Amino acid sequence: MLGFAPMIRTSLRAFFFFVLASSGVALAQTHPGEDALVREVVADTGQDATQLTKLLDGAQYKQSIIDAISRPAESKPWSAYRPIFVNPARIEGGIDFYRGNRALLERIGAEYHVPPQYLVAILGVETSYGQITGHYRVLDALATLAFYYPPRADYFRGELKTLLELPPSKLAGPVATLQGSYAGAQGWGQFMPSSIRDFAVDEDGDGHIDLNGSLPDILGSVANYFEQHGWQAGAPVAMAVTADAGADALAEYAGQPPTMPVEQFVAAGYTPQSAIGVGTPASLLALDGDTGREYWLTFNNFYVITRYNKSPRYAMAVTQLADAIVRGVAAEDAQATAAAAR
């Protein structure tokens, strides 16, 4: 009978925890609001309250996380933001990644109707093609922001709750071992727990989603995210425009889907640098570039990129990196064809 003693003690601790929590008695907790979160996860999933409490008790507050989220790169002007992500190293890295994984990229691109260069560019901007996936424990990051960062505590509490409720088949390892960004994003594509839950896919069919070690899962998940958010195959993303000297002042991009037909921008004095179909909904985006104000028309697919990260600077960096990568791949293909013909 001695072998049953530990099991009985664990069950009794969980029972007493449940009774006290249900009765409203205040419990000692390592983090403010921890007990309420545990009760919710237990109610939703039936997990063991004692084990959840132990897991959260082990989450560490990190001041460096608060510091990092208080100074995001997206707060920089475009002239300073662009060189971080659209530079020769990232472009060459993207071209190499595309060429090294071309068959997989083009298969997944065709399956989800998303051009491969945008999948590559997301990985380039997010993690420099898997080289910088984050050095924080995801548990520490989400607990710090959920319990100690009031401006966005509700959002990160929801992400922490989702993390605790995800099945093991959707995670790269045990919760306590997961590594990621200061915001709790994981893998090459930097998926938050709710994105893992809703959009991550088991592209390689092994019964497990691995956003760190499986390129099919990584690329398929990014592609599925885009497709599920309304990516339109063959449609434009963004286009530079020239503002006439007397161009009307128009409402600029405000994080909403485009609604104004492109011809209204033309009539207001904004001339597209390429042809675009009449009636195509667009938004006007102004950026502070190296030589002054830049004006762009952005379309539905640009808005889809901002569902990955709401910053229009982020979406423009992805767009320009994708364009540079596909041009580089095409140039290398042309060189190879010419060399073979000689």
Active centre residues (catalytic): 126
- Relative to beta strand 260-261, strand 238-243 is unpaired
What are the start-end ranges of the E strands in 273-332?
281-289, 292-298
Q: CA-CA distance, 342 to 237, in Å (whole number)?
A: 37
The gap from C-alpha 212 to its chain's centroid, in whole angstroms, comes to 14
Q: Which of 126, 114, 328, 130 is nearest to 228 (CA)?
A: 114
Q: CA-CA distance, 100 to 173, in Å (whole number)?
A: 27
Structure tokens at 120: 């590559």
Q: Which of 57, 58, 210, 70 is nearest to 133 (CA)?
A: 210
- For residue 309, report the phi and psi dihedrals to the nearest 5 degrees: -150, 125
